[in-house]
Amino acid sequence: MAIRKLDHVNIRTPHLEATIAFYGDVLGMRTAPPLGMAGEITDAAWIYDDSGAAALHVGRAGTPYPGDDGIAPPADPGSAMVHHVAFDCDDHGGMLGRIEAAGVEHFRNDLPAFGLRQIFARDPNGVLVELNFR
């Protein structure tokens, strides 16, 4: 079982358009709607690095995400917040066993259409940790 690499960082912001413009227009990164969401970028975008990986997920503050229990935490005006950190992992069963043995509250999200299994848990600081198994 191993954490192989950082998968992406998710940023919640009340300044979605300006954030997308900064990463897209200023830094030259490609932006697109999130995986599985066709059409215009309205409440969220994925921002891709040069290798084609979605390095940043940005979302409008107040938009619910998995793990929010239906209520998205707000970002203070003039600031942004890190919503979660995601890791590319292997050994789903081993990781799940460790999390359960430690008594850490968690939930699972399986997306078979994308060949993705996920485990979500919060660290002691309340940061949501997304563990992705492909």
Q: What is the CATH number of the domain that holds 71?
A: 3.10.180.10
Q: Which of 19, 17, 12, 15 has its CA nearest to residue 61? A: 12
| Integer Cα distance of 122 and 104 in angstroms | 8
Which segment, 10-14, 62-66, 103-107, is predicted with the most confidence on average?
103-107
Residue 117 has a pLDDT of 96
| Integer Cα distance of 1 and 85 in angstroms | 18
Average confidence (pLDDT) over 87-101: 90
What percentage of the chain exceeds 70 in pLDDT?
86
Half-sphere exposure of 31 (CA within 13 A, CB side): 23
Whether residue 108 is predicted with pLDDT greater than 90 in this model: the reply is yes
Torsion of CA 9, 15, 16, 18, to 10 degrees: -100
Which segment, 72-76, 81-85, 128-132, is predicted with the most confidence on average?
128-132
What is the domain extent for residue 29?
2-133
Whether residue 70 is predicted with pLDDT greater than 60 in this model: the reply is no
Residue 71 has a pLDDT of 56
Whether residue 36 is predicted with pLDDT greater than 60 in this model: the reply is yes
Number of domains in the chain: 1
